[in-house]
Structure 1
Amino acid sequence: MTGYEPTTALPRDLLNRADMKAAITAHDFGTVFLLARSQAGITYSQIASACDIKPERVGLLARGQGSVTTFEKITRIADALRIPGRMLGLAPRAWEESEHGTSGDGEDLRRREFFKASASAGLAASLPDLTRPPAGGRIGNDIPNRLRERTARLRRLDDILGGGDTYRVYLSEYQKTKALIRDASYTEETGRALRSVLAEMAQQAGWAAFHAGRAADATSLYEASHQAAVDAGDAALAGNALAFLAYQNVGGNRQVGVQIASRSCATAGADAPPGVRALLHERLAWAHAVAEEADETERALAAAEAALAEVEDSPQPDWVTWVDHNELQIMTGRCWTELRRPLRAVPVLKTALARFDNAQARDKSLYMSWLAASYLHAGEVEEAADVTSRALDLSAEVASVRPRQRLDPIIENLAGHRALPAVAAVLEKARA
């Protein structure tokens, strides 16, 4: 629970007020802070301290100047003010478990099942209003923004569900929007905005396909996304589509992966939002690490860090709000693991993973595989076995092939140490 103080918890009756709900749903934290002060007596200084935000910035936000867009800051505010995750489009926060007296893998599974059901119900309830052209077939210029907001909400499912659960949901969004673009009439400006949203949807569906083990579908969607982004004149999304393609290629021809990742940064350009530049340079660092290019890896990570330093006061696309300093630490640890530098990798991975909720089971189990690998590189076999065991537990109910794909070679390497009780136990768990 980052930055939580009891005096900053919003009262339940205030959370249930319509104006507070509207502000939270819109991520309008200035209004949230304003209501917290006027209705609950929580001072801006208390909010600043609890949320790790500069006091002057809290005041500016309350006056309607600026916005909070990074995942790291949003989660800090949620924890400090005790705002339930569902109200912000986040996975349930760790403190929600303790307050309701629940914990453990069974509760994580029940939460994932709830989100599966609610995603389908929400889709059926509101999609027709957005994708059916009105009488006369002409749509207004508000539709792209409404579709983008909807895409942002559905993207939150990716926090706790695997691609096997979300792929059909995301693909349906993409296909229906593609049909809308084909069948409706609209202005040239609205058409460009629709194609930009379509590119975003294709990337989300491609990411889910990738996690569901549908590599060919993912490639096709990323390529379609790139074309839609180019047609829309959206350089940032075009660059991100290439970054996704590079991510898929690094496991094959490593230099091709580096070339595509480099092209993704050049396509987005130096004028792209800093969060976008941070994400693309992270993926470039990964491509260099897989290609065993340590100096180039370090330069790309430094470029990502420099871009993140600019994020604080700059509006960011929703599709990069998850990229924060913790995510960069994870990527840094992954890169050093790939380069077989365990003394560098282990500390940053341990620190970053400690901040992940178990509800983010797919990502946490996946990232733990790099920690286990680094322990093996360092000769710490029992530590590697312990981390692998915990990763197996987390990934057991996740509809993603990637955690097990990553864990299988680690388990194979552990097999040579089966005489150790910790290793024998994890091998038995893997067989089960």
Structure 2
Amino acid sequence: MTGYVPPTALPRGLLDHAEMRAALAAHDFGTVFRLARSEAGISYSKIAAECDIKPERIGALARGIGSVTTFEKVTRIADALRIPGGLLGLAPREWEVSARRALPAPADATATDREGDEVRRRGFFKTSAGAGLAVALPDLTRPHTGRRIGSEVPGQLRERTARLRRLDDVLGGGDTYRVYVGEYQATKSLMHDSAYSEETGRALFSVLAEQAQQAGWAAFDCGKHATARGLYEASHEAATEARDRALAGNALAFLSYQRVNGDRRAGIETATRSCATAGPDAPPGVRALLHERLAWAYAVAGLATETERALDSAASALAEVDDTPQPDWAAWVDHNELQIMSGRCWTELRRPLRAVPVLESALAAYDDTHARDKSLYLSWLADSYLTAGEVEQSAQVAGRALDFCAGVASVRPRERLAPVVQRLAKHRDVPVVAETLEKARP
């Protein structure tokens, strides 16, 4: 039974396709079927036969009508298309286990290597499973024109947005951009085609602002900078319409983060405005996040006193005991993340004696499953070691960063590591540096 390979088995290359990965993580089987036919030539009739789904249903799903939510159907599709369980948030399928047993372990694979891979795999499975739950929500984004929607819809959309945000923990913007911008466009269509109360409208604008920020971040992460700026500006407009000061402030913080490398003064002005827009009554996590980004703007501009003051404001906000609900989009900000931002700032300010200890401590507690972010943060640690004259240590850390970002659909880790690698090249006669330079080759 397990030796049988169905005619609908997807080629490995297609499973590695960014759009396919995003569709699988979101359980968007309509897109999966469409790509199977357009990219691999697998007909809908074959898919229907192997998945035990009516052909007309396959066609409807491929046109974006309906969704697959039951466990039984998801597992049937996984087996028919030979989709590894991990890509769908499932345990490894029986045919995967059998195939793995039939292959010898690589000669150079250590127990530590295998354990590390397993930890990363489990972390990704858990995250993608959570994201997949979002498809169980009602089909909210395709109402009949003129339909009146109730006050519960914005909350359901916000829940969906929060679940899909988890994709950013393990995937780069190249993998998530289409998913996030699709959600944003769908909500815009919903608002255009539906009727709702004024209060519901404000809530919908708030969700739209949140989705625009999410899509903008993915665009920024994959190098679409003009698109990111447009989405951040649209987010600010929507948040202002919603009278959501926290989200409006965060939109400005995103714009500052993007601007600061080009126009430092404009970056600082925008970051300062973001804190003022959110105001002192914003939830502590929001204020901490915005002051962190203000600290970053100051650090890039070389202003040490102002940087430290902003970091202190972020720490004070996090230290507050407050029962105010924290928005999901700011929930990732904690004391460890603040330590990382502090280390990044002191690296930019060329203060390695302050940067290295906090980065070492914070990164030791940072989960390896967040490969893109860990790679980025390690780049600042490598930078600080090099500034301190610790060439070998810098090269080792840069090598780890390169390992983490391999295969991640984000342009930022490589861009951030490029100047560090360029500085290391002066020491290419050192063996560990030579190894890192070899890893860094395109």
Question: TM-score normalised to the size of structure 2?
Answer: 0.72
Question: What is the CA–CA distance in structure 2 between the aligned matches of 1:224 and 1:256, rounded to whole Å?
Answer: 19
Q: Which moved more, 1:105-114 or 1:320-329?
A: 105-114
Deviation (angstroms), 1:132:
2.5
Question: What is the CA–CA distance in structure 2 between the aligned matches of 1:140 and 1:225, rounded to whole Å?
Answer: 23
Partner of 1:219: 229
For residue 103 of structure 1, the aligned residue among 111, 115, 127 is 115
Deviation (angstroms), 1:133:
2.5
Give the unaligned 5+ runs of structure 1: 1-85, 90-100
For residue 302 of structure 1, the aligned residue among 308, 312, 336 is 312
Question: What is the CA–CA distance in structure 1 between the aligned matches of 2:277 and 2:119, rounded to whole Å?
Answer: 43
CA contact (8 A) 2:284 2:322 kept: no
Closer, same or farther in 2 for the Cα pair 1:190/1:410, shift >3 Å?
same
Question: What is the CA–CA distance in structure 2 between the aligned matches of 1:257 and 1:288, rounded to whole Å?
Answer: 9
Deviation (angstroms), 1:313:
3.5
Q: Summarize the alignment of residues 406-425 of structure 1 with structure 2, pairs less than 5 Å apart.
A: 406-425=416-435
Partner of 1:205: 215
Note if 1:150 corresponds to 2:160. Answer: yes
Question: What is the CA–CA distance in structure 2 between the aligned matches of 1:431 and 1:202, rounded to whole Å?
Answer: 35
Q: Which SS does the other structure have where 2:159 is aligned?
A: helix
Deviations 1:227-250 (A, max 9, x none): 000000000000000000000011
Partner of 1:280: 290
CA contact (8 A) 1:329 1:349 kept: yes
Question: What is the CA–CA distance in structure 1 between the aligned matches of 2:407 and 2:354, rounded to whole Å?
Answer: 31
Q: Which SS does the other structure have where 1:129 is aligned?
A: coil
Deviation (angstroms), 1:149:
0.8
For residue 404 of structure 1, the aligned residue among 406, 410, 414 is 414
Closer, same or farther in 2 for the Cα pair 1:245/1:311, shift >3 Å?
farther
Question: What is the CA–CA distance in structure 1 between the aligned matches of 2:290 and 2:198, rounded to whole Å?
Answer: 29
Q: Partner amino acid for 1:168?
A: R
Partner of 1:357: 367
Deviation (angstroms), 1:134:
5.7
Question: What is the CA–CA distance in structure 2 between the aligned matches of 1:405 and 1:307, rounded to whole Å?
Answer: 32
4+ aligned runs moved over 4 Å, structure 1: 109-119, 125-128
Partner of 2:29: none
Deviation (angstroms), 1:136:
5.4
Q: Which SS does the other structure have where 2:140 is aligned?
A: helix
Deviations 1:147-173 (A, max 9, x none): 011111111111111111111111111
Closer, same or farther in 2 for the Cα pair 1:259/1:187, shift >3 Å?
same
Partner of 1:344: 354
Partner of 2:239: 229
Closer, same or farther in 2 for the Cα pair 1:324/1:311, shift >3 Å?
farther
Deviation (angstroms), 1:367:
0.4
Partner of 2:301: 291
Question: What is the CA–CA distance in structure 2 between the aligned matches of 1:214 and 1:117, rounded to whole Å?
Answer: 28
Which is bigger in relative contact order (C-alpha 8 A, separation at least 6)?
A: 1
CA contact (8 A) 1:109 1:397 kept: no
Deviation (angstroms), 1:208:
0.8
Deviations 1:218-267 (A, max 9, x none): 10100000000000000000000000000001110111100000000011
Deviation (angstroms), 1:312:
5.4
CA contact (8 A) 2:170 2:370 kept: yes
Question: What is the CA–CA distance in structure 1 between the aligned matches of 2:242 and 2:163, rounded to whole Å?
Answer: 22
Give the unaligned 5+ runs of structure 2: 1-85, 90-112
Question: What is the CA–CA distance in structure 2 between the aligned matches of 1:184 and 1:264, rounded to whole Å?
Answer: 32
Note if 1:378 corresponds to 2:388. Answer: yes
Deviations 1:35-80 (A, max 9, x none): xxxxxxxxxxxxxxxxxxxxxxxxxxxxxxxxxxxxxxxxxxxxxx
Deviations 1:76-111 (A, max 9, x none): xxxxxxxxxx9xx9xxxxxxxxxxx95334863686
Question: What is the CA–CA distance in structure 1 between the aligned matches of 2:115 and 2:295, rounded to whole Å?
Answer: 36
Deviation (angstroms), 1:310:
1.4
Closer, same or farther in 2 for the Cα pair 1:285/1:189, shift >3 Å?
same
Question: What is the CA–CA distance in structure 2 between the aligned matches of 1:122 and 1:357, rounded to whole Å?
Answer: 23
Question: What is the CA–CA distance in structure 2 between the aligned matches of 1:113 and 1:329, rounded to whole Å?
Answer: 28
Closer, same or farther in 2 for the Cα pair 1:183/1:146, shift >3 Å?
same
Q: Report the identity percentage.
A: 68
For residue 252 of structure 1, the aligned residue among 259, 262, 265 is 262
Question: What is the CA–CA distance in structure 2 between the aligned matches of 1:314 and 1:117, rounded to whole Å?
Answer: 29
Deviations 1:9-46 (A, max 9, x none): xxxxxxxxxxxxxxxxxxxxxxxxxxxxxxxxxxxxxx
Partner of 1:164: 174
Note if 1:191 corresponds to 2:201. Answer: yes
CA contact (8 A) 1:334 1:345 kept: yes
Question: What is the CA–CA distance in structure 1 between the aligned matches of 2:299 and 2:238, rounded to whole Å?
Answer: 30
Partner of 1:319: 329
Deviations 1:393-421 (A, max 9, x none): 00001111100000011001000000100
CA contact (8 A) 2:145 2:193 kept: no
Question: What is the CA–CA distance in structure 1 between the aligned matches of 2:164 and 2:277, rounded to whole Å?
Answer: 27
CA contact (8 A) 2:149 2:195 kept: yes
Bigger Rg, which one: 2
Question: What is the CA–CA distance in structure 2 between the aligned matches of 1:408 and 1:108, rounded to whole Å?
Answer: 26
Deviation (angstroms), 1:374:
0.2
Question: What is the CA–CA distance in structure 2 between the aligned matches of 1:250 and 1:284, rounded to whole Å?
Answer: 10
Q: Which SS does the other structure have where 1:315 is aligned?
A: coil
Closer, same or farther in 2 for the Cα pair 1:110/1:278, shift >3 Å?
closer
Q: Which SS does the other structure have where 2:139 is aligned?
A: helix
Question: What is the CA–CA distance in structure 1 between the aligned matches of 2:251 and 2:402, rounded to whole Å?
Answer: 31
Deviations 1:319-365 (A, max 9, x none): 11000000000000000000000000000000000011111001100
Question: What is the CA–CA distance in structure 1 between the aligned matches of 2:259 and 2:121, rounded to whole Å?
Answer: 32
Question: What is the CA–CA distance in structure 2 between the aligned matches of 1:163 and 1:233, rounded to whole Å?
Answer: 28
